[in-house]
Amino acid sequence: MNAKSGIMNQSQGTSNWPQPLIEGFLRFRDNLFPSDAIEYSRLFAEGQQPKFLIIGCCDSRVDPAIIFNCAPGELFVVRNVANIVPPNEARIGHHGTTAALEYGVCNLGVEHIVILGHQCCGGIQTLLQTGEKSSPDSFIDDWMSLVEPARASVERDYADSSIEIRRTACEQRAILVSLKNLLTFPWIAQRVAEKSLAIHGWYFDIDQAQLLGYNASTGQFESL
């Protein structure tokens, strides 16, 4: 069996393709695309020139383009579990988020990076449940250990609080860890120092439909 036939054997065939997605594409093509056809043609011819790079979560409820009501070409979006930015590390392994950051900053020249955290994050919930323990079979545990300082500080400062309060605090403090990690990349730190790039930590309250931004002057997340 060659590689191609192996792939074909693993697929489920066209009869099992997810029809809601195909139907959604057809609605997009027939109803939405025509109104934006000129803009799509321009983006195709000129390439993308987004000003905003969003580090968002994979959570299906938190789509940056929908939350910010943006058109195609406006956002350069990176999504991962719990919207985490790893620190600048040795080039060992595969660094999808870091590669996207580099491309957005160095190739596209974005003017703003927004780390977009959110309420009821499953990754943060896992971090609070597992603590410092990590399963050798879990990619999520290793990934979430990147924001372990957030969990540790919340367990110290909110030891007697409810799980909801601790989770919200951890979600927000994890954003601060990622903001700090952004500045470990020299090509980000230099642009921030030159004021050609600004970095932001924002938090989306799903239940209340509120957007909070971290104010470094007050040390608080405040309504935007």
Residue 9 reports pLDDT greater than 60: no
**Is the residue at 9 inside a domain?**
no
**106 shares its domain with 203:** yes
List, for residues 165-186, the tens digit of each pLDDT value.
Answer: 999 999 999 999 999 999 999 9
Instruction: At 84, list the tokens.
Output: 């985490």
List, for residues 40-86, the tens digit of each pLDDT value.
Answer: 788 878 889 999 999 999 999 999 999 999 988 999 999 999 999 99
**Is the residue at 130 inside a domain?**
yes
**152 shares its domain with 64:** yes
**Is the residue at 37 inside a domain?**
yes
pLDDT of residue 80: 98
List, for residues 108-118, the tens digit of each pLDDT value.
Answer: 999 999 999 99
**54 shares its domain with 33:** no
pLDDT of residue 8: 53
**Is the residue at 2 inside a domain?**
no
pLDDT of residue 5: 53
Residue with tokens 């036939």: 5
**109 shares its domain with 148:** yes
**104 shares its domain with 198:** yes
pLDDT of residue 64: 97
Residue 16 reports pLDDT greater than 90: no
Helix (H, G, I), strand (E, B) or coil at 13: coil
Q: How many domains does the chain have?
A: 2
CA 186 – CA 191 distance, rounded (Å): 8
**161 shares its domain with 127:** yes
**42 shares its domain with 83:** no
**Is the residue at 8 inside a domain?**
no
pLDDT of residue 206: 94
**Is the residue at 109 inside a domain?**
yes
* CATH number for the domain harbouring residue 144: 3.40.1050.10
pLDDT of residue 10: 60
**42 shares its domain with 91:** no
List, for residues 21-38, the tens digit of each pLDDT value.
Answer: 989 889 888 887 777 777
List, for residues 194-203, the tens digit of each pLDDT value.
Answer: 999 999 999 9
> What's the domain range around 25?
17-47
**Is the residue at 126 inside a domain?**
yes
Q: How confident is the model at residue 12 (pLDDT cuts 50, 70, 90)?
A: low
The answer to whether 39 touches 73, Cβ cutoff 8 Å, is yes
Cα–Cα distance list, 20 to 24, 105, 208 (Å): 6, 35, 29
Strands, DSSP E only, in the chain?
A: 52-57, 75-80, 112-118, 198-205, 210-215, 220-223
Helix (H, G, I), strand (E, B) or coil at 83: helix
Partners of residue 199 on adjacent β-strands: 113
Task: Name the residue among 201, 183, 181 with its Cα closest to residue 191.
Answer: 183
Q: How confident is the model at residue 137 (pLDDT cuts 50, 70, 90)?
A: confident
**26 shares its domain with 95:** no
**115 shares its domain with 183:** yes
Higher-scoring residue by pLDDT: 38, 214:
214
Whole-prediction pTM: 0.88
Higher-scoring residue by pLDDT: 67, 2:
67
CA 117 – CA 120 distance, rounded (Å): 10
